């Protein structure tokens, strides 16, 4: 009997990969340090199935997002999981943003996103009377889903096929040798034939332990949300996004209906002082000292201090947070919102201080490390899994499917 393929991390990417392997009859074991699956990014995000309008044509994001939408839609339909095709408006607030919106329209067409339409001001108001803007791009197939429920369904598929998901089990060391890899956990040392590291916020640390290079390193960016009070929830039906700043991989504070009926505004992007720093008071001495020693972080901070201060101000002052959203939702008042749970993004940063935009996967012998899987990696998880498994070159087992 051959050693199983090991996977670190039971987020959407790790679980989709485990599921893909288990369905092919490949023995698989997933180690997850938390007590349940999807406890970090996969359970703390906007819940949006992105249609693929933003990403540079030909990029890994563009490819995996379009393929990921198709796979995920089929999966949710097959498993009876909710899929609410609300549609989304990306709203330009002035002429400068209109120019940038035209570029997004061009990318959407090149990426084959269905049904995308340009709207002028009156057309916006016909669709959404409470949204202000001079032009908008409508992406009618953008959907909202329940990503934690999808993660649980992936996990159930893995165990049904004989795969193991070991929660509450942190991977503490990885050692490569000639024809395999040894993975250490508090329960002992386990041989695996191949290892896939899908550890989100911890991924660079584990990849280094497996012999990968240090760069890119993960800098955690907290994304905070405000939640609309019930009385104003129904004023907008679609997802409403601003035109993103091309200098950043983040999409800007947007209004997102949730599958449970809540409507959230966010996320901003504030430097987190711990890898899993969901609140300002979560501070890790280890992470602070890593940041202090990081040349990539110093360069990032030097290049982006203005935006950093703006985001910090928005985090500390609800008024400042709301000011941005008010530029396209002018009726919004402070009394309309309450704080909502935050998420923390695992954002990879290159040694020159630039934020890595595209998905990035490293291979170090028998170890595959997912070094950058930010949004839309939840949307793309099944497509990323397909790609990872294809590149593992494992011969399928008879009877798998
Ligand atoms: C605020 C926010 C909003 C977002 N919005 C969207 C969106 O609307 N649509 C979209 O497509 N994407 C969105 N994303 C991105 C998306 O959530 C992530 O890209 C995706 O969830 C990444 O999945 P993952 O499996 O790589 O990472 P994670 O979900 O973070 O999973 C990594 C797992 O590894 C585990 N782990 C780490 N170290 C170890 C160890 N040593 N041993 C064992 N286990 C370990 C962690 O506990 C964790 O469970 C958003 C992200 C954030 C933070």
Assign 310 a pLDDT band (cuts: 50, 70, 90).
Answer: confident
CB of 371 shorter than 6 A to ligand 1: no
**Distance between CA atoms of 316 and 312, rounded to whole angstroms?**
6
Q: What are 367's strand-pairing partners?
A: 195, 364
55 lines ligand 1 (CB under 6 A): no
Strand 48-49 versus strand 143-145 pairing type = antiparallel
63-72, 99-108, 256-265, 311-320: range with lowest mean pLDDT: 311-320
State residue 400's pLDDT score. 47
Angle at 222 (CA atoms; ends 219, 223), nearest 5 degrees:
135
**Which tokens in the block code for residue 167?**
């929660």
Q: Find the helix packing angle between 147-160 and 60-79, rounded to 10°.
A: 70
Mutate to test the pocket of ligand 1, among 69, 199, 383 (most ligand atoms within 8 A of CB): 199
Ligand 1 atom 13, closest CA: 375
What is the average pLDDT across 207-222? 96
Burial grade of 36 (CB within 10 A; 0-12, 13-18, 19 or more): middle
β-strand partners of 241: 90
Backbone φ, ψ for residue 223 (5° rounding): -115, 110
Q: Whose CA is nearest to atom 2 of ligand 1?
A: 45
Report how far apart, in Å, the C-alpha atoms of 188 and of each of 43, 182, 191 are.
29, 10, 10
Report in angstroms the alpha-carbon separations of 269 from 219, 227, 253, 283, 379: 11, 17, 9, 17, 20
Mean pLDDT of all residues in 265-283:
92
Residue 82, pLDDT > 50, answer yes
Contact 275, 202 (CB under 8 A): yes
3-state DSSP assignment of residue 87: coil
Candidate of 378, 381, 385 to mutate for ligand 1, largest count of ligand atoms within 8 Å of Cβ? 378
Output the residue whose Cα is nearest ligand 1's atom 35. 9
Q: How far apart are CA 204 and CA 170, in angstroms?
A: 15
Ligand 1 pocket, residue 199 CB under 6 Å: yes
Return the minimum-mean-pLDDT range out of 49-58, 148-157, 315-324: 315-324
Residue 397 has pLDDT above 80, yes or no: no
pLDDT tier for residue 1 given thresholds of 50, 70 and 90 = low
Give distance in angstroms: CA of 258 to centre of ligand 1.
18
The verdict on the CB of residue 88 being under 6 Å from ligand 1 is: no
For 143-164, what is each residue's pLDDT tens digit? Answer: 999 999 999 999 999 999 999 9
Contact 52 CB / ligand 1 (< 6 Å): no
Q: What is the mean pLDDT of residues 41-54?
A: 97
Bigger pLDDT: 292 or 305?
A: 292
Pocket mutation for ligand 1, best pick of 9, 37, 88 (most atoms within 8 Å of C-beta): 9
The residue-averaged pLDDT of 293-314 equals 85
Helix (H) or strand (E) holding 175: strand 173-177
What is the rounded average pLDDT for all residues in the chain? 94
Check whether 249 has a pLDDT greater than 90: no
pLDDT for residue 201: 98
Question: Are residues 228 and 271 in contact, defined by beta-carbon separation less than 8 angstroms?
Answer: no
Q: Ligand 1 in contact with 170 (CB < 6 A)? A: yes
Mean pLDDT value of segment 246-266: 89
Cβ 301 vs Cβ 308: under 8 Å: yes
| Whether the CB of 342 sits within 6 Å of ligand 1 | no
What pLDDT is attached to residue 67? 98
Q: Is the pLDDT of residue 135 over 90?
A: yes
Summarised one tens digit per residue, pLDDT across range 362-386 is 999 999 999 999 999 999 999 999 9
Looking at the DSSP assignment, which residues form a beta bridge with residue 266? 254
Average pLDDT over residues 249-272: 91
The predicted model gives 60-81 an average pLDDT of: 98
d(CA 199, CA 369): 9
| 220-240: average pLDDT | 95
Lowest pLDDT segment from 119-123, 125-129, 207-211, 307-311: 307-311
pLDDT of residue 366: 95
Q: Is the pLDDT of residue 22 over 50?
A: yes
Q: Of 86, 82, 18, 78, which is closest to residue 51 (Cα–Cα)?
A: 86
Residue to mutate (ligand 1; options 8, 11, 203; most atoms within 8 A of CB): 11
CA of 277 to the centre of ligand 1 (A): 14
For residue 379, give Cα distances in angstroms to 146, 204, 267.
11, 22, 17
Distance 126 CA to ligand 1 centre (A): 37
Cis before 216 (ω within 30): yes
Pinpoint the alpha helices (H) of 6-59. Answer: 12-23
> Which of 324, 187, 171, 153 lies closest to 250 in space, CA to CA?
324
Closest CA to 329 of 241, 400, 257: 241
Closest residue by Cα to residue 376 from 39, 22, 72: 72
Q: Which residue has the tokens 């020159």?
A: 352
| Residue bearing the bigger pLDDT, 311 or 210 | 210
């Amino acid at each position: 009997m051959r050693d199983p393929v090991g996977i670190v991390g039971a987020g959407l990417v790790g679980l989709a990969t485990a599921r893909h392997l288990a369905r092919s009859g490949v023995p698989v074991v997933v180690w997850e340090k938390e007590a349940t699956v999807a406890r970090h990014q996969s359970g703390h995000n906007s819940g949006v199935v992105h249609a693929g309008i933003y990403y540079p044509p030909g990029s890994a994001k563009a490819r995996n997002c379009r393929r990921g939408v198709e796979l995920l839609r089929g999966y949710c339909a097959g498993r009876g999981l909710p899929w609410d095709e609300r549609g989304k408006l990306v709203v330009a607030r002035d002429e400068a943003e209109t120019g940038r919106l035209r570029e997004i329209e061009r990318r959407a067409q090149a990426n084959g996103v269905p049904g995308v339409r340009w709207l002028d001001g009156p057309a916006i108001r016909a669709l959404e009377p409470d949204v202000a803007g001079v032009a908008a791009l409508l992406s009618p197939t953008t959907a909202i889903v329940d990503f934690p429920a999808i993660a649980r369904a992936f996990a159930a598929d893995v165990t049904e096929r004989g795969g193991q998901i070991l929660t509450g089990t942190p991977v503490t060391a990885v050692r490569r040798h000639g024809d395999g890899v040894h993975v250490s956990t508090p329960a002992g040392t386990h041989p695996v034939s191949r290892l896939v590291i899908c550890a989100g916020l911890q991924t660079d640390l584990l990849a280094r332990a497996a012999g990968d290079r240090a760069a890119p390193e993960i800098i955690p960016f907290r994304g905070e949300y405000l939640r609309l009070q019930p009385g104003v929830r129904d004023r907008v039906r679609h997802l409403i996004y601003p035109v993103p700043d091309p200098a950043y991989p983040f999409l800007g504070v947007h209004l997102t209906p949730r599958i449970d009926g809540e409507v959230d505004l966010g996320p901003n992007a504030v430097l987190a002082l711990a890898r899993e720093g969901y609140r300002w008071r979560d501070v890790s001495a280890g992470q602070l000292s890593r940041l202090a020693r990081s040349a990539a972080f110093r360069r990032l901070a030097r290049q982006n201090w203005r935006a950093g201060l703006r985001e910090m101000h928005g985090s500390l002052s609800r008024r400042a947070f709301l000011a941005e959203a008010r530029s396209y939702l002018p009726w919004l008042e402070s009394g309309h919102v309450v704080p909502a749970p935050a998420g923390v993004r695992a954002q990879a940063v290159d040694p020159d201080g630039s934020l890595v935009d595209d998905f990035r996967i490293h291979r170090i012998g028998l170890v595959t490390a997912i070094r950058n899987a930010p949004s839309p990696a939840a949307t793309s998880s099944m497509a990323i899994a397909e790609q990872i498994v294809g590149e593992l070159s494992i011969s399928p087992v008879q009877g798998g499917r």
